[in-house]
Amino acid sequence: MVTANAGPDHLGVAVYTGDSLDTLAEVEWSVFDEVAFWPRLSDPAGLGVDLGSLRWDFGDGTTSTEQYPRHRFAGDGDHQVRLTARTVDGRTASATHTSVVRTHDVAVVKLNTPSTARAGQLVGVTVDVRNTRYDENVDVRLHRSGPFGYEAVGVDTRPVPARSGSTSFSFAYTVTPQDAAAGKVTFRAVAAVRDHRDALPADNELLSASVRVR
């Protein structure tokens, strides 16, 4: 008899999220992740496993014969990853691990600001967020440029349904004398998925054009 165990993760450590032991859940992967797989192999008879016999089936139509493969899933789903191994004397065994792939990804696609303003004026700033995969709860934080970098202006949280269009987050900002002294102010919007890991955070931030302050 030969036993084989298969599971994806880094350095053999399983990663879970949750507030308590009863709510722990294994981390979900995304289509942007390159998942590392490793085998745990043992032969109770002590004859050894033929490493050249290893075969991984990732459950999405692709396979590998590498001992430590890395794989990027083509689509979301519950993929049954199967590892098959054989001992040097021909005995075989296999093990299956479910890799959960859910790609949560939102993007800031537009940041609308006025082209000019004056000190003391209340101006509107609108941030458009696109989401095409799953309904999400999204935090959008607005920052404005200052003498020591970007400073927080406000945060807005709302549901962003999955659809082909976008959802608008609205902010109001009072132009300051410091903005007038600088002659301009720039805004930065940052979106974050509240309940999941965003799979592609590179598109979660956008800078506005400079607003000229008179």
Mean pLDDT value across residues 162-177:
94
What fold is seen in the domain 3-101? Immunoglobulin-like (2.60.40)
The pLDDT score that the predictor gives to residue 165 is 87
- Beta-bridged to residue 181, according to DSSP, are none
Q: 115: burial class by Cβ within 10 Å (0-12, 13-18, 19+)?
A: exposed
14 pLDDT tier (thresholds 50, 70, 90)? very low
83 contact partners, CB below 8 Å, separation of at least 6: 4, 5, 6, 37, 39, 54, 55, 56, 57, 94, 95, 96, 97
User: What's this model's pTM, rounded to 2 decimal places?
Assistant: 0.80
Two domains, one topology: 3-101 and 106-213 = yes
Q: Where are the domains of the chain?
A: 3-101, 106-213
**Homologous superfamily of 106-213:** Immunoglobulins (2.60.40.10)
Q: Which residue has the tokens 């999204």?
A: 138
44 pLDDT tier (thresholds 50, 70, 90)? confident
